[in-house]
Structure 1
Amino acid sequence: MRYVNFNLGLLFAFCLVTQAHAIDAIDRLTAERLEAVHQSIMTFKTERRDIPRRGPYQEYRANLHVHSAFSHDSRGKIEDIVAAAKAAGTSVLMFTEHPAKHYDVFIDGHQGLRDEVLLIPGAETNGMLVYPRQSIKDMLSAKPQDLSDFVRGREGLTFVSHLEERMDWQLSGVTGVEIYNTHADSKDEKRLMSSLRNPLWLLKSADLFQRYPQEAFSALFDYPADYLKRWDQLCEIAPHTGVSANDAHQNIGITVRMAEDDKVRVEDGLGEEVLTLEAAVFAALKPIPKDTKPGTSLFELRLDTYERSLRHVGTHLLLRELTQPAVWEALNQGRAFVAFDWIADATGFDYAATSADVRTEMGGNTKIVAGLTLSGRAPLAGHWRLIRNGQIVQEYDGSNFELTVREPGVYRSELWLKVGGEDRPWVLSNPIYITEK
């Protein structure tokens, strides 16, 4: 057991920040900024209009890259994760457990319908999100390309994960790639990461996280420019379905418990001891009731609850029905879009190509013909970016747009909203692949 005494003056010095840098999560974690974001979210709820979906598909929200207690770095119980999914508007949970010797990610993994949420087992391994149709336990030491070939050859799905950590992000035959990862988004937040390792900073900031739980969690959110650049490059080589990765663990936070000898024990989000403090140091920040017994929880702050993590971003799928085969079909064909639903519910967003009576959904291929148009609709007005082969070719303002297509290319769209005074991406569509006549 390690005893640490802190000088409270150092705490307040630590929390002082400078403004001589680009805005980051710490800048956003002020009462004024969080309230501005909250007011934007309330306005969007008022202004949002339901729009009927065009085409033959139904829309279901999915979360990929989700960990439960099977993974060594999570303690999540399946009933809690399902409840969080329902609260966040999620219908499909695609788990990606860290493989281990004592369980099989496919055979033992969460699967089937549970309380109207479809559970799909998978693994985060070898630099990929892997959703197999059979056990992959004997393939875990394989090279990424070999593992992907094994899974894809048996009708499974593979997505290249954590692009910021790898050089071999161009693998052939994969289903797609993460175009946003919450954990990756946090890595460039150096001041935030440093602050989260300081229990006293967490105690001091607790009021903001409790008053603005989702806004504070999503303060780390930035446009994933590097991920999108690589995705655009990959899509020019072959179709790659873009998905969001929640990387949900529910393992960030602290619990403070009374200990023996006038000490308090500080635990991390997994219940492991971080340090011990003199009770008087903690009491200067939070009063301790008299006669508090050892083991009693004095304070708990969990930042990345499953509900907040799952609501932060989702992959919206266009399905024929809520079944595993229908999910496979949509992801294989790219009928999906990524939405940062913490800002506003993106249900109803539509992006398609049409000519005469023929409609091509996201992820589809079509040829240039007379009258071919790309169009988008959304339940909120915002700023549209139409991107061809990685370059912005047109921009529009409003709840919809339409463009006559005159040259081939890989066309995707983005829709941005102004949130708390900042321009933030709200929806990232999968592309439509347009070829010569």
Structure 2
Amino acid sequence: MPPNDHPYDAYFEYVGNLHIHSRYSDGAAAVHEIARSAKQVGLDFIILNDHSYMAEYLHLQDEGFYDGLVVLLGLEIGGRYHHYLAYDIKEMISGRSLGPQEVIDRVNAQGGFGFFAHPFEKGMPFSEKSLAYTWNDLSVKGYTGVCIWNFSSRWKERIKTVFHGLFFLLFKSQFLKPPSRKTLSFWDKLCQQKKTAGIGGSDAHGSLFKWHGIRLKPLSYEYLLNSINVHILLYKPLSEDFAEAKAAIYEALRQGRAFIVHENLASARGFKYYYVSDEGWNLTMGEERPFQTGTLFIKIPKEGEIRLIRDGTVERRWRGNQVSFRVKQKGVYRVEVYCHLSVFGWRPWIFSNPIYLR
């Protein structure tokens, strides 16, 4: 069934965590151990992105169903700069001597696709001297999208001293910053030029932090696998055939038929955002069509502050859990939702992929 003819209320929602590191690179656990943790927090799928310059092989033999959980393996390709999250690749790409455009081209040549990882991160001031793995060459082409929200990157940017570390460990969920303004502005501009999918990720390592005899694990797999998650929308239930399930998950990510959630604040299962034209056709996140007047509908699982963004600018704000908006002009429309926590105020919760009305 073509996407624009699919009933807006007939999608099947699945929740996954992306950008996870295992012992194949600099993570602290084996694939099966990470899968067990993901199953415990209620995920439907996970995708590992071990560093290509550390991993010897792609290890596709580890893909499969783990007690009903879909486990997929991609790569994080890059060295000092230009880290690229590659998905649906068939062979190892080391990337050691490749420029960013060459990396993208090689991923595409395998039928894969990818996203900029933490393109504008700032690094941790305290123990890493603000070392950041940024994207400096933004002239590249052929990539699918951008990881707009990386839990580990946003969390560590605030750690300036040991006292900051202790404070933001205690309140790591409550004080997580939203995607940076620079990242969102970059993404919004890209989306106005062409469809550009957005994802989020945990960047989970499960690593020990060592400092003056102190040894602790500030961000465990169990915590991070329920941090920044991606909810995908499928046209039919996830298949019990692994190859079909893998293809469906990757197609949803490639198309941007998804939304990004800070899951530790509250579950966002059931979030809906779709467009119904006056002629009766409809679109959901990641879909596009020439503009015709119609109505946007937004429904969230609990009350929050809903912000409708058009071409990078806030078009309208509401407080509630279900709203509609009459659309009279073309544009790229996406949604941000903030969740209210007592004492802590309004905190970033849901970021949708856009609906493109050209």
TM-score if structure 1 supplies the norm length? 0.69
Q: In structure 2, what residue type is equivalent to 1:332?
A: R
For the pair 1:350 / 2:319, whether they are aligned, the reply is: no
Secondary structure class of the residue paired with 2:201: strand
Give distance in 1, aligned partners of 2:151 and 2:280: 39
Which residue number corresponds to residue 232 of structure 2? 317
Pairs within 5 Å for 1:279-294: none
What is the one-letter code of the residue matched to 2:334?
A: R
Change (3 A) 1:389 1:309: same
2:51 aligned with 1:98: yes
Q: In 2, Cα distance between the equivalents of 1:117 and 1:250?
A: 20
**Which runs of structure 1 show a deviation greater than 4 angstroms over 4 or more consecutive aligned residues?**
192-196
Match of 2:290 in 1: 367
* Larger deviation, residues 382-391 vs 179-188: 179-188
Q: Which 5+ residue runs of structure 2 have no aligned equivalent?
A: 1-6, 121-133, 239-244
Q: Which residue of 2 aligns with 1:121?
A: 73
Structure 1 letter corresponding to 2:255: Q
Whether 1:79 and 2:32 are equivalent positions in the alignment is yes
Are the aligned partners of 1:140 and 1:147 in contact in 2 as well (CA < 8 Å)?
no
Please say if residues 227 and 264 of structure 2, whose CA atoms lie closer than 8 Å, have aligned partners that are also in contact. Answer: yes
1:185 aligned counterpart, secondary structure: helix
Which whole-Å CA distance do the structure 1 matches of 2:56 and 2:33 have between them? 21
- Answer yes or no: is 1:423 the counterpart of 2:346: yes
Q: Give the CA deviation at 1:100.
A: 4.3
* Worse-matched range after superposition: 98-107 or 226-235: 98-107
Counterpart in the other structure of 1:227: 183
Whether contact under 8 Å (1:106, 1:135) holds in the other structure is: no
Higher helix proportion (structure 1 or 2)? 1
Task: Return the alpha-carbon distance in structure 2 between the equivalents of residues 404 and 192 of structure 1.
Answer: 48
Q: Which residue of 2 aligns with 1:6?
A: none
Partner of 1:12: none
Matched letter for residue 224 of structure 2? S
- Counterpart of 1:242 in structure 2 is 198
Change (3 A) 1:140 1:352: farther
Work out whether residues 263 and 349 of structure 2, in 8 Å CA contact, stay in contact via their aligned partners in 1. Answer: yes
Q: 1:303 aligns with which of 218, 221, 230?
A: 218
- Per the alignment, residue 22 of structure 1 pairs with none
Alpha-carbon displacement from aligned partner over 1:86-139 (angstroms, at most 9, x marks no partner)? 22221111111012476212545x311111111111111122101242113365
Quote how far apart the aligned CAs of 1:401 are: 1.2
Name the SS for the 2:160 alignment partner: helix
Letter in 2 for 1:120: L
Please state how far the C-alpha of 1:79 moved relative to its aligned partner. 2.8
Higher relative contact order (CA closer than 8 Å, sequence separation 6+): 1
Give the drift of 1:150: 2.0
Alignment partner of 1:60: what SS? strand
TM-align CA RMSD: 2.4
In structure 2, what residue type is equivalent to 1:223?
Answer: P
Q: In structure 2, what residue type is equivalent to 1:159? A: F
Q: How many angstroms apart in 2 are the aligned matches of 1:318 and 1:114?
A: 21
- Structure 2 SS opposite 1:413: strand
- Count, aligned residues: 325
Of 58, 64, 70, the match for 2:18? 64
Please give the alpha-carbon distance, in whole angstroms, between the structure 1 residues aligned to 2:50 and 2:178.
26
Q: Is the 8 A contact 1:128 1:160 kept in 2?
A: yes
| Secondary structure at the counterpart of residue 253 of structure 2 | helix
Q: Does the 8 Å contact 1:185/1:220 carry over to 2?
A: no
Deviations 1:347-405 (A, max 9, x none): 000111112432201010123224x1111111111111100110001111111111111
Deviation at 1:191, TM superposition (A): 2.8
C-alpha contact 1:163 1:169 (8 A) present in aligned 2? no
Say which SS state the counterpart of residue 344 (structure 1) adopts.
coil
Q: Which runs of 5 or more structure 1 residues have no equivalent in the other structure? A: 1-52, 197-201, 210-214, 254-267, 269-273, 277-298
- Report the Cα offset of residue 153 of structure 1: 3.1
Q: Does 1:173 align with 2:142?
A: yes
The offset of 1:140, in angstroms, is 4.5
Superposed CA offset, 1:274-305 (max 9, x none): 545xxxxxxxxxxxxxxxxxxxxxx9743211
CA contact (8 A) 1:217 1:304 kept: no
- Aligned residues of 2:276 and 2:283 also touching (Cα < 8 A): yes
CA–CA distance in structure 1, aligned partners of residues 103 and 162 of structure 2 = 33
137-146 or 120-129: bigger deviation: 137-146
Q: Could you give the per-residue CA deviations for residues 41-85 of structure 1, whole angstroms, max 9, x where no partner exists?
A: xxxxxxxxxxxx9533211111110001111x2221223211221
Q: Deviations over 1:185-228 (max 9, x none)?
A: 034314356754xxxxx6xx8xx96xxxxx63325511222221
